[in-house]
Structure 1
Amino acid sequence: MNNNFFSHLFLWLSLIILPEMVFSQSNDFTIQDVKFESQGITLAGSILKPINPVAAVVIVHGSDPVKRELEFAKRLAKEGVAVLTYDKRGVGESGGVYVGPSVGTNNIDTTNLNLLSDDANEAVKTFRTFLKNKKIPIGLIGFSQAGWIIPITASKNSQIEFMVLFSCPTITTLEQLRFQFYTNGNSTFWENHTDADAREHTKNDPDKYQFVETDPKISLNTLSIPGLWLFGEKDIQIPVKLCIEQLNTFKVQGKPFEYTLFPTLGHNTSSIDITTPFDISIEWIKQKALSIKMSKALIK
């Protein structure tokens, strides 16, 4: 009886003493609620920490009004990768205003992309303070629109040591829009068009939007951190072959950029139903994290 009483008392005291950010735990990792400031607003998210993480990543959103990517984060955490994922500004528990097509605004305006990169940058700085082992390499992982946000963020913050990009463009925002208008959501687009058709349209079609374009190559030119892009050849959101051409140019210049092309996949290369791209990204993260740690050890 006494043992039960003291056991319950200890549990009760533990719940009081532990930070209120801790709300869940599994055999593989803990989950903690966090909040951080960015450009005058408060963003809310979760940190998932394995017992001995091999690496750490902040998840960067695509264009949709999405909350924290907990399911994807759990997949990463189960593989030994610590994760910070947060509700996009204006979504879920995060403050601010969501900007995007679903509310009639242009979410790839340069101002908005830079604002979202500020959010990702603050997430990285916050995450670093929560990692007990300061030698753990920290990177960015994201989807689609993150292809513009991640390079901008990485160019601002030297703490970011690698990046993984699922179906992310390496072309300008205007070029991507031209291609997207051309495919018009047609899932059979590639049955009736060639890469040459898509390339011609992407390069020369008159713009339906008038705004300052964002070119990820400007930021990528400044980076020397490893990057992995995962593309689906059937993608109708971004012209994959043109994006790969840009990456090949960077590779010739000695940039540590890699990519993998999946002939049967479309824009969703991070699907839980088709795990090969995710599995490849995990192995790549582990290899790069080990290389980064070894490099740091040699410098010392």
Structure 2
Amino acid sequence: MKNHCCLIAAVLFVVMTGNAQMGTVTKSKVLSDSTRLMTRMILPEKPLKKKPPVLVIVHGSGNQGSWNTYIPMISRFSAQGFAVVFFDKRGTGDSEGVYEEVTAENSEDVFERLSNDVVSVSAWAKKQARIDTARVGLLAYSEGGWVAPLALSKSDDLKFAAILSGPLCTVGQELLFTELQQKAEEVPEITLDSIYKSLADFTGKAGFDSRPLVESMETPGFWLFGGKDQSMAVDFSKAQLAELMKKSPEIPIRFKVYPNANHSLYDAETKERMPYAEDIRDWVLECMYE
């Protein structure tokens, strides 16, 4: 998505995430809507449980959705004992199909296709040996925060979702946020407060909105945000989650904010990595095993 929050830091995030040693890698071409997706499952060297829970990665935006770009992220979670499933995003790497830039106008159609890909790959994952087939979940980053709730609504195979720096607003609102953030660099009158007011008053083309799907979620969801994220509307998104949780306390969702973290969940000043992988591991142990 041009100038979109999720494009800005997607490559930075996966490059900086870590270089832990990966375990056994199984490759396959998975069919999704007649499109073949190059898919890999990575079994950890030290499983979290005897049969490890599974994280299916849901890409951030941009056309950098191929294996080499995501190896550090995969390694980080493999080191936490998860089996990790990754597929080259359609139109990138060794997957077929056409990569599509997301706009407010086409977002519903594009996310429909991307969520179908996630569901197809998740169904393939559940058939693999040596994994915990009852604990297959999603690990979504940035733009993937829109795709993941849609995929959850389509599949009984998916039991949880962890979402890193994922928006809880419409695509149109997120595009407006990015536009105003860029203008604020040259126009001092544009403050963060005025930007959030503009989001609340937004009447333009909305595009895809995951909030109704989140409101009806029955599977556990965990959102992690950076308090100094300048690439997405964090305060707006966490307020939406808090409102949903207050309105429907039975929804099994929660969120966490790392106050000094950026969109990539690194300290904005020291560049120290936030413990998001460890926090997700602990959350999965709590909500999936206790």
Give the TM-score band, short-chain normalised. 0.7 to 0.9
TM-score normalised over the length of structure 1: 0.78
Does 2:246 correspond to 1:224?
no
Does 1:196 pair with 2:190? no
- Give the deviation of 1:29 after TM superposition: 2.4
2:23 is the counterpart of 1:29: yes
Matched, 1:41 2:35: yes
In structure 2, the CA distance between the partners of 1:67 and 1:273, relative to structure 1 (3 Å rule), is farther
Report what 2:253 is aligned to.
257
- Mark the runs of 5 or more structure 2 residues left unpaired by the alignment: 1-19
* 1:88 alignment partner in structure 2: 89
Structure 1 unaligned blocks of 5 or more: 1-25, 292-300
Structure with bigger helix share is 1
1:23-54 CA deviation, whole Å, 9 max, x = no partner? Answer: xxx98621111210011110002110125343
**Would you say how many aligned residue pairs link Structure 1 and Structure 2?**
258
- Name which of 137, 155, 174 aligns with 2:135: 137
Q: Percent identity?
A: 23
1:132 positional shift: 3.8
C-alpha separation in 2, matches of 1:127 and 1:185: 44
1:243 corresponds in structure 2 to 237
Distance, in Å, in 1 between the alignment partners of 2:35 and 2:194 is 44
Q: Which amino acid aligns with 1:202?
A: L
Residue of structure 2 equivalent to 1:119:
117
| Secondary structure at 2:265 match in 1 | coil
Aligned AA for 1:64? Answer: G
- Asked whether 1:160 is paired with 2:162, we answer no
Q: Hey, what's the Cα distance between the residues in 1 that align with 2:104 and 2:90? A: 15
Tell me, what secondary structure is at the counterpart of 2:31?
Answer: strand
Structure number with the bigger relative contact order (C-alpha 8 A, sep ≥ 6) is 2
Structure 1 residues 280 and 194, CA gap change in structure 2 (3 angstroms): farther
Select the structure of larger CA radius of gyration: 1
Moved more, 61-70 or 153-162: 61-70
1:77 aligned residue: 78
CA contact (8 A) 2:228 2:261 kept: yes
Cα distance in 2, alignment partners of residues 125 and 135 from structure 1: 10
Q: Distance in 1 between matches of 2:234 and 2:157?
A: 29
Distance 2:105 2:122 in 1: 22
Structure 1 residues 181 and 216, CA gap change in structure 2 (3 angstroms): same
Pair 1:283–1:234, CA change in 2 (3 A): same
Q: 2: distance between equivalents of 1:193 and 1:266?
A: 20
1: CA distance between counterparts of 2:21 and 2:198? 51
Task: Report the residue type matching 2:217 in the other structure.
Answer: L
**Structure 1 residues 96 and 137, CA, compared in 2 at 3 Å: closer, same or farther?**
same
Q: Deviations over 1:28-85 (max 9, x none)?
A: 6211112100111100021101253431110000102120322211211121101100
Aligned residue for 2:5?
none
* Compared CA separation, residues 137 and 62, structure 1 to 2 (3 A): same
CA contact (8 A) 2:181 2:230 kept: yes
1:165 alignment partner AA = I
In the alignment, is residue 149 of structure 1 matched against residue 143 of structure 2? Answer: no
- Which segment is superposed worse, 86-95 or 65-74? 65-74
CA contact (8 A) 2:29 2:38 kept: yes
| Aligned partner letter, 1:197 | S
